[in-house]
Chains A and B, each alone.
Chain A
Amino acid sequence: MRNHFFTGLSSALTLALVLVVLPTGAQTSEQTLKEIERYRAALADGNPAELWEARGEDLWRKQRGPKMAALDKCDIGLGAGVVKGAYAVLPKYFADADRVMDLESRLVYCMVSLQGFTPEQAKKDPFGGPNKKSDIEALVAFITAASRGVKMNVVASHPKEQEYYELGKKMFFHRGGPHDFSCANCHGADNQRIRLQDLPNLLKQPAAQSAYTSWPAYRVSQGELRSFQWRLFDCFRQQRFPELVFTSDASVALTMFLAKNANGGVLSAPSIKR
């Protein structure tokens, strides 16, 4: 663990080096991209996401809430208590809730139904920050890590799942706000960049797969593990939209669209990103 902390430090130093050696001149941008690739490879060496995974595993097994129950009876997609491979089939329709759910909304559901928390208590800290830890993000880290190496397999055969996929697709192309932005403006064409940041084309399978399967991720620049709900929340902030409500229907519908487009991709999350 300590070792990883130092690897993280050396990664940060590598970043500093990369920034210093950024070449000048347009013709050298290929070299710049290579340097960024090298930096990413250096980061992958040690991933602090392990800290979140370990805390999440404890939370999964611990008896908590008014009912003093553990979450390990929670059905997150493959039956009660099955963790391995479950993330690969989400989002999914759950008959007990009569709702299509992603991982985060399913965790909230189980915290309410099994442990007796109120929905407000369960959703209290969806994202970690400087002075608060998010239990949900830790649980997400533990559960997604158990699907590393598993192929995405969102079946979407239930009519509700198909409906969410179609609604999510419409949201992807929905232009709005003062900047007229939709998801598609940045993520609907090949080989696009904002500044030096690559933008995956989420409409085409290889890019959609590698993008989706690398979330959740530990973000070096934030020192936090970030869930897919956070990824959408922060994309919409940059899109100049209002705030996407945590585990809202729109967040699940859009996740359904993106997750199904990534079918066949091998999960590598939680990964590590800049």
Chain B
Amino acid sequence: MAHHVCVPRLDRRGFLKVGAALSGGLVINVAVPIAFRPPWAAEVGPSFDPNAFIRIDRRGVVTLVMPMVEMGQGTYTALPMLLAEELEVALDQVRLEHAPPNDVLYANPMLHFQATGMSSSIRAFWTPLRQAGAVGRTLLIAAAANRWRVDPGRCRAQRGVILHPTSTRRLPYGELVDDAATLPVPAADSVALKDSREFTLIGTPAKRLDTPDKVNGLAQFGIDVRVPNMKVAAIAISPVFGGKPKSVNEAAARTVKGVCQVVRIDNAVAVVGDHMWAAKKGLIAAAIQWDDGPLATINSSDIIRQLEEASKQPGVVARNEGDAENALAGAAQRIDAIYQVPFLAHAAMEPMNCTVHVRKDGCDLWVGTQVPTRTQSLVAEITGLPKDAVKLHNQLLGGGFGRRLEADGTVLAVKIAQHVDGPVKVLWSREEDIQHDMYRPYYYDRLSAGLDASGKPVAWTHRLCGSSIYARYLPQIFTNGLDHDAVEAAAEPPYHLPNIHVDYVRVEPPGIPTAFWRGVGPTHNVFVVESFIDELAAAAKQDPVAYRKTLLGHNPRALGVLELATRQAGWGRPLPARRARGVSVQFAFDTYLSQVAEVEVTTEGSVQVHRIVCAVDCGIAINPDTIAAQVEGGALFGLTAALYGNITLKNGRVEQSNFHDYQPIRIDEAPRIETHLVRSAASPGGFGEAPTAAVAPAVTNAIFAATGKRIRTLPIDTALLKSTA
């Protein structure tokens, strides 16, 4: 999701409300103003809740109710670090709870509702959580100073204790919380926040709070939820999108031991059983026949042809500066290219699932979701229940990558559960998960550039064609036909390009739903822009790094990461034959990043990535170890897509089904990955998605350097790389 569309600034002030907890102690609510609310978040409730957000109890235990969800990106450690830094508590004094759905208390100001995505968590809560900590600390100091009748200016807070150094008196927070809850609350922006040089926790590689239970099997993901008297349902969804079950042998399914019930809904069949195996066997016995509906003739080639046609007509202008058309006509050299990236599934390790208990008067949902309020609202709609009767119990996510920004899995589960007496866990097989994902769109891009006699670009045109996710997901910000997400990192490449024209043609593919995927816009656009810049460098007969540097003079942070990455990678040092380096630079999610990939292409055409060096300027790095982990993981996520990721349709059906034909990278193919951080005092940028985008062009540019062959379509077709020599 793009950041341009969001009104809030990074320094946005939160409104703090402070009061007493029900069971005693201090409660701090952080309400960040939201520019507008989508329909499902429109209702406004009380803005103070004695259980909400931050509680400090009489034992001094700090509870942070996590507005963002943990799916591996480390937010369950980084957000508590922001609070703990200013509240002056150790990280191990903070307990975490998953937040219930509530847009009044927990909305993400960058996304306009309670949602974890767009690499936004740190940017959204950087100021509000530190302010909440500072206000809490100020109140606790005031409470202690009152009790001791001393100047609060002579007291200080340290590791959950207020100290009065001159008299050596000390009081732990737990003994002060009730007093603190009654004191007048200072305005959030009246409390001074630490300068980054004073940080003792932020900037340290703090241990993740969620790790211990993830190494001993105790961590509970959505799929692990067990409710008394719960049944398990296996599902089959129409293999063609929009199809319906035509015939179901319910009697045969019910003869399978452990099967209780067969449920038929509009586009799917579920077999409910005592355990998954019984349900699965029941599903096979049901021998479902499908009415495929009108989309059963769609093939990938139809979709690509449609995109190609659409790309011949102008689109909605995303950026226009100078006169690209004239500059192109007058250029000494003209380069044209077409780039394509495929549909991609998410394939999170935890297959889609949701446990539901629908009753006359209410509904409980146990699910790991990136969008609790959107989910709650959709379920209220289906069931006809009031929203507050739909209780959502959020869980740890076994991977999100954007898949769990959609509520389709929960909607399906609820429709099934409406026919089931008692709670039911609806669990997708891996095949259903891959074949009924909502996919990263296929994009078809047309680019032209003009170079002057010295090889410098004088014109740049880029037309992007593909699905708009925002048009469906959040139409309020799909304005004038422009999807800011789709064009992120294309409309504003980091380079000095004097005559630039970027336009977007929305094309919705028939027969396949599209959705967000780890860094949608940048993941597509950085590949295209960084490959094309590389093409220009080659046309200008210049070194790709030197060429980029001449175009980054105005952009010191982009130049800084490029210099750091290439220096650490040993750019220019000789390599064996068929081995070469490639580079990429990007600015996305408010983070600068440069990657150098060292790649070997065998004479048979196979691609082995040996090493990836990544330089990062994300402003203040909250937890540098998490940054490194996200570089390692993001690069492999992007590399998997570049090497293997390809969802195709044949006769309306997704052809891939499991990890043999939707192949993830494995440990024996994983390159060495190095992270180098630029020290910075700038406000933090987003990070969960950034490293995914930069890797594909670094690798394909290295392939070009090694073989002279330019990859313009992903995934990389190794047949093209076979040596003919």
Partners in one complex: no
* Chain B contacts to A: CB under 8 angstroms: none
* Chain A contacts to B: CB under 8 angstroms: none
